[in-house]
Amino acid sequence: MEKITVFPGSFDPVTRGHESIIRRALPLFDKIIIGVGENGEKKSFFPVERRVAWLNQIFGNEPKIRILTYTGLTIDLCRRKNARFILRGLRTSADFEFERSIGQVNKLMYPEIDTVFLLSAPEYASVSSSIVRDIIRNGGDVKQFVPEGIIF
């Protein structure tokens, strides 16, 4: 059976932290579906089209990776795509606590699913989309925090 994982997130915008998790997960799975969540209630900073375009720019040539947008529950996307794994990155103990409850509730709702965590690479442990957005809002340079070639 193909090992398919969903990497869900807002990617608002994509950072080197996301890129690192995805590249490190490539040898572990046959297919990685990057699911860009469209949450009606949460207004994003960048429109979904731009967030998807950046991901395509970075990963478009990688045969194991698919990029799509979704609304609703991540486990429902997993069911539709036959994915048995959800991939998440862990930076801090706060990430862990948050992820633990979501991962365990997902397991109760969809027992076939397992959440796989990769620890953040140490150099990216402090990188987050929200910090990158703050720097952009205030006119700073985010080059070192976002993947090569991403321009705002």
Question: What tokens appear for 29 in the block?
Answer: 């799975």
Integer angstrom CA distances of residue 29 from 11, 22, 85, 112, 120 = 21, 10, 9, 16, 18
Segment contacting ligand ADP by CB under 6 A, of 16-24, 43-51, 52-60, 76-84: 16-24
Binding mask 62-101 for ligand ADP (x = CB under 6 A): --------------------------xx-x---x------
Q: What amino acid is encoded at 99 in this protein?
A: E
Q: Segment 115-144, which members bind ligand ADP (CB under 6 A)?
A: 120, 124, 127-129
Is the separation of the CB atoms in 115 and 85 below 8 Å? yes
Closest approach of Cβ 95 to ligand ADP, in Å? 5
**Does the N-terminal peptide bond of residue 111 adopt cis geometry, omega within 30 degrees of 0?**
no
Exactly one of 23, 24, 50, 91 is catalytic; name it.
91
Q: Using CB under 6 A, list all residues that contact ligand ADP.
A: 8-11, 15, 17-18, 21, 88-89, 91, 95, 120, 124, 127-129
